[in-house]
Each structure stands twice: as structure tokens, then as C-alpha cells.
Amino acid sequence: MVRLKGLKFRLRAGCLKEYKNCIEDLLINETVQMMKHFRHHHQTTCFEHALNVSYYSYLICKNMGLDYVAAARGGLLHDLFLYDWRVTELERGKHAFRHPDIALENAERIFTLNEIEQDIIKKHMWPLTIIPPMYYESLIVCIVDKYCATLEIVNSSKLTPVIDKSVLF
């Protein structure tokens, strides 16, 4: 059973396999794998953070009868910005405001994204992005992103990955 602060999900046999099927083509991509080289929140890499966001969003959207495939895929790609935001200075604007557009540009260069996946990546920093998410899936990823980031920052020494990454690889 996975607990997400008050929500309980019973993991059916094959749930992890189904999740992996949603994102398998993303996981094997070299550019997505590059996210492992960038620290994001304390000791959590960008890849680990995105995987956590992706999996929790998948579970919630599946439980709610929403597009869980788009949530899983958009969640994994939402921070595909590929630089160390602590030292990189952007030409226009600050990282918190600009990285959703950068991540979307990077993702669209590699993958064909549907409207929900695009909206998830572009709006995951709402309310900083000003324009709110258009889809429930986007809002869920946005909230789960903040939940995971908070855990990664506050409990960085105690946080264990949501899923055993060895199962995915």
C-alpha cells in the first residue's frame, strides 16, 4: 500500500509494470537519463524527483479515472531542463519562472507530446506561471511536484524513493 498524506492506494499486481509501460520509452532515452547528473533538491537528483512526481501522479490519476498515462509521462518530463539551476544564469528571467518552457522545448525536440502532457510540463510551476493548468492531470502533477519537493527538502536525509528504481531498469 502506498500512502500519500491521507490517500491510500492498493497496488494491484502489475500496477508497477503498467506504470513502467507508460514511461518505458522515456526511461531509455539518453536525454532523460542526463537528468541523473543534476542535483535538484538537496541530495535528490532531477531524475529521482521527476520519477517520484511521475509515479505519485500516475497513482492519483489512475485512482480518479483520469489520463494516468499523460500524468506519468508529463510528470517524468516536467523538469527536463538539463542544467544546474544553482550556478546557471539564464538570459531571460529566473529559473523558477523559465524552466517549464525550457523543459517543454527539450521534451518536444525528442518526443511527440499530447496537449495534456504539454500543459503538465508548461504549468507545473503554477501559480508562478500565472496561467493556471487547463486539465485536472496538470493540476495534480503541479500539486504532487510541490509535495515531493517539500519532502525532498525537509526530509532529505530520510526520504526514500517512491519506487525501487531497480524494478524499472
Q: How far is CA 104 from CA 19, 53, 137, in A?
A: 22, 16, 16
**pLDDT per position as a tens digit, 60-93:** 999 999 999 999 999 999 888 665 555 656 466 5
pLDDT band at 44 (very low <50, low <70, confident <90, very high): confident
**Predicted local confidence at residue 6, as pLDDT:** 46
Question: DSSP assignment, residue 89?
Answer: P
Q: Can you give the pTM of this predicted structure?
A: 0.81
d(CA 141, CA 137): 6
The domain defined by 18-84+93-158 folds into Hypothetical protein af1432 (1.10.3210)
Mean pLDDT of 16-24: 90
| CA 65 – CA 58 distance, rounded (Å) | 10
Q: What is the pLDDT of residues 134-147, one digit of tens each?
A: 999 999 999 999 98
Q: pLDDT, tens digit, for every residue of 153-169?
A: 777 555 445 555 554 55
Which helix (H) or strand (E) is 45 found in, with range? Answer: strand 44-45
pLDDT for residue 5 = 46
Q: What pLDDT was estimated at residue 153?
A: 74
* Alpha-carbon gap, residue 86 to 75, rounded angstroms: 22
* pLDDT confidence band for 116 (50 / 70 / 90): very high
Mean pLDDT to the nearest integer, 39-55: 81
Which residue's C-alpha cell is 520509452?
25
Higher confidence at residue 12 or residue 43? 43
Distances (CA, A) of 135 to 70, 126, 141: 11, 13, 10
At 168, the amino acid letter reads: L
**Domain spans, the chain:** 18-84+93-158
Name the pLDDT band for 150 (thresholds 50, 70, 90): confident
pLDDT at 93: 56
For the chain, give the mean pLDDT: 79
